[in-house]
Structure 1
Amino acid sequence: MMRRTWTTLAALAVVLAVDAAAQSPAAFSRLGFGAQGVAMGNAVSADSSASPWYNPALAPFATRQSLTASIGNLSLDRDLQFVQLATPLQRAGIAVGLTHAEVSGIDGRNNDGLHTQDYKTSEFAGFLAFGLRFSKRVTAGIGLQLFRSDLIDGLGAVNTVGIDLGVTALVRDDLRLALVLDDLLARFSWDSSSLFSSGGKTTTDNFPRRIRLGASHLQLDGRLQIVAEYEARFSSAEIARSAVELLGDSPVQTRRTEELTVRSDLFRVGGKYTLTDYLSLSAGLDRTAGAAGGGFRPATGFTLEQSIGALLTHVGYTWASEPYGMGNAHYISLRLYLEQ
């Protein structure tokens, strides 16, 4: 029993450490999607060339069918994989994608502190985004996300569905604004009775509700793009209070729980400069929740455009600094345009 307890705690501690908001489920899904978005600080909800994962209202901006694959190597034995297929429709667009996060090399030990075996966790986030162009300046979209988390053997995998809503508006020829609502209705319900028998219980973890406002501004005849984003994140927290009260003439210890909603304000900024028709440079700053004391995540990268026969490809690389001195992350992306 104790071995399982320590294993569970170790797994949860490492997995949730990827985000400063340790109580938030599926924290990996808020680290970004692919090399280009991370390089621009993930402030791309109003960037018409960004993945609809950031904003389903970006789906109609796809000009041709494309397939994108990315990998991310992070510190603490964490790995990310991304894949996305996007295609344009008449006055609309659709994209489907999947993110996989894995933590390996988790050290399992028994009551004597001796190593037993290595554990790993596996989490998935799939999405389907559909966007419609209402006019030359306004687009809107809806996204469905399916989350799955499988932490350790003996604790059953959990699933949930979330809804994203987004809109973009071109207020000037060089300025686009965006509004996104993320992870509506999403929550994990954990049942630990399979691990702890009668000592187990069902715990519900609500995803943070997020409201994001984004902007994208073009300068230097479109060669320089500046993006910025503000996010209000509302996370639920349970506070337990213990007290000693008198029941008649006898003192009795009582325990009460209180549900609180915690708000975090996050800011992101980034930019991209097109040096040539084949090379662009990007840089950004992503501020994670609770960023005071080291939560800033600077990043930089580049994208190369290359034709292989009749096939147009984009290859990108991004370096990002992890928050709180955890190390560095490296991302590589490949996008294939399947139509000429």
Structure 2
Amino acid sequence: MNKKIWQAALLGVLLFGGKSAVFAQGGYADVLLRMGVASRSEAMGRAYTAVIGSPESAFYNPAASTAMESRMIDLSIRALPLDRSFSYVGFSTAIRPKSKNTDVQKQPLGGGLALSWIRAGVSNIDGRDSDGEKFGSYSNSQNLVNFTFGLRPGERVAIGMTARLFWNRFPNIGEDDATVSSRAFGFDLGTLITLADGLWLGAVYKNINAKFSWDSGKLYERGTSTIDRFPKHWRIGVAISRLHKNFLFALDLESSDKQDPKLYAGGEYAILPQANLRAGIRDGNPAFGAAYRFALGSRVSYLHYAFVAQPDEVSAEHIFSWSFQF
């Protein structure tokens, strides 16, 4: 019985109080969304609401999917302490229907499409009783699939929506090795306005209708059901490249119904035609990175790296990404 009590207590910590320990992002349901995605956005401090040109852009603002110049795929992994893992795959392309009509007013609407998958997990979580004796080892895995669609109702205005499907799973909990899991569905709405050549304004409203429903009935007879709602986020950002042809600067402001406002800033400078340096700051945490462009057969490919300081982490994060156009 004592073991059951401690297992139930551990589950409560993992579900509702342990996300800070597991992912170092706080105890809210949207922890996976707040881990970022790939190297470019991380190196630029996640100031990405108005930045265009990669599948990462569609993750932060669904309207940015309409601004892709070619089809692109992102692959990313990161080195994390505390037996954690994180990987990301993203694809994005613009949709530009062909028309024989030369009248600009009668051209079909352009758009954009993006898909991405994120997986994060942690293993080797010790379950211990009040005497410090280990009674088990636990793990958690989370998966997120994003489907994004955008439209351009005007030459300088784009709108978009992202539908998100989450899976959160705790296997082998309890004496019968039961699995406790939950799914959630939510969506984001975004807009992107080209104020002038090289000047963009973006806004997004995130986590609409998203919530986890947890049921501990599989663990013990008098289990309970709990709703864990995602915080809703509002974000506005600006990106500018017209100050210098080799320099991009971005600034984001984010607010939430459950968290204090946060400021994000970042920049990217092309030191060579095929090499970029990046730096940013995310709510006071610095980040740095670089990218190298090279030919892979007849295609253009990129290698990205980001270093992100984490004051509440055992060590900083190292993020590696590979992007290629096709």
Tell me if both proteins adopt one fold, taking TM over 0.5 as the criterion: yes
Match of 2:141 among 114, 118, 122: 122
Whether the 8 Å CA contact 1:164–1:181 is kept in 2: the answer is yes
Residues 90-129 of structure 1 aligned to structure 2 (within 5 Å): 90=96, 91-109=110-128, 112-129=131-148
How many equivalent residue pairs?
301
Alignment-mate amino acid for residue 82 of structure 1: Y
Alignment-mate amino acid for residue 57 of structure 1: A
1: CA distance, partners of 2:220 / 2:132: 21
Q: Is 1:182 the equivalent of 2:206? A: yes
Q: Deviation of residue 164 (structure 1)?
A: 0.5
CA distance change for structure 1 residues 209 and 217 in 2, over 3 Å: closer, same or farther? same
The answer for the alignment partner of 2:11 in structure 1 is: 8
Alignment-mate amino acid for residue 100 of structure 1: R
The answer for the alignment partner of 1:216 in structure 2 is: 239
Whether the 8 Å CA contact 1:182–1:210 is kept in 2: the answer is yes
Whether the 8 Å CA contact 1:155–1:192 is kept in 2: the answer is no
CA distance change for structure 1 residues 48 and 331 in 2, over 3 Å: closer, same or farther? same
Match of 1:140 among 159, 163, 166: 159
2: CA distance, partners of 1:213 / 1:302: 25
Q: Which has the higher strand share?
A: 1
Q: Deviation of residue 21 (structure 1)?
A: 3.3
Query: Normalised by the size of structure 1, how large is the TM-score?
Result: 0.84
Q: Deviation of residue 311 (structure 1)?
A: 2.2
The answer for the alignment partner of 1:194 in structure 2 is: 218
Whether the 8 Å CA contact 2:91–2:116 is kept in 1: the answer is yes
Residues 148-297 of structure 1 aligned to structure 2 (within 5 Å): 148-153=167-172, 154-198=178-222, 200-235=223-258, 263-287=259-283, 296-297=284-285
Alignment-mate amino acid for residue 180 of structure 2: G
Q: Is 1:40 the equivalent of 2:40? A: no
Alignment-mate amino acid for residue 207 of structure 1: F
**Which runs of 5 or more structure 2 residues have no equivalent in the other structure?**
97-109, 173-177
2: CA distance, partners of 1:311 / 1:220: 30
CA distance change for structure 1 residues 325 and 21 in 2, over 3 Å: closer, same or farther? closer
Alignment-mate amino acid for residue 291 of structure 2: T
1: CA distance, partners of 2:79 / 2:19: 15
2: CA distance, partners of 1:325 / 1:142: 33
1: CA distance, partners of 2:76 / 2:49: 19
Query: Normalised by the size of structure 2, how large is the TM-score?
Result: 0.87
The answer for the alignment partner of 2:59 in structure 1 is: 53
CA distance change for structure 1 residues 323 and 80 in 2, over 3 Å: closer, same or farther? same
Alignment-mate amino acid for residue 323 of structure 1: P
The answer for the alignment partner of 1:303 in structure 2 is: 291
The answer for the alignment partner of 2:102 in structure 1 is: none
Identity %: 27
Root-mean-square deviation (Å): 1.8
SS in 2 for 1:211: strand
Q: Deviation of residue 136 (structure 1)?
A: 2.4
2: CA distance, partners of 1:325 / 1:160: 28
Q: Deviation of residue 337 (structure 1)?
A: 1.2
Which has the larger displacement, 105-114 or 46-55?
A: 105-114
2: CA distance, partners of 1:106 / 1:9: 14
Alignment-mate amino acid for residue 5 of structure 2: M
2: CA distance, partners of 1:303 / 1:333: 9
1: CA distance, partners of 2:164 / 2:311: 26
The answer for the alignment partner of 1:62 in structure 2 is: 68
Q: Is 1:320 the equivalent of 2:323? A: no
Q: Is 1:74 the equivalent of 2:62? A: no
Alignment-mate amino acid for residue 316 of structure 2: N
Whether the 8 Å CA contact 2:77–2:88 is kept in 1: the answer is yes
Which has the larger displacement, 132-141 or 200-209?
A: 132-141
Q: Deviation of residue 109 (structure 1)?
A: 3.0
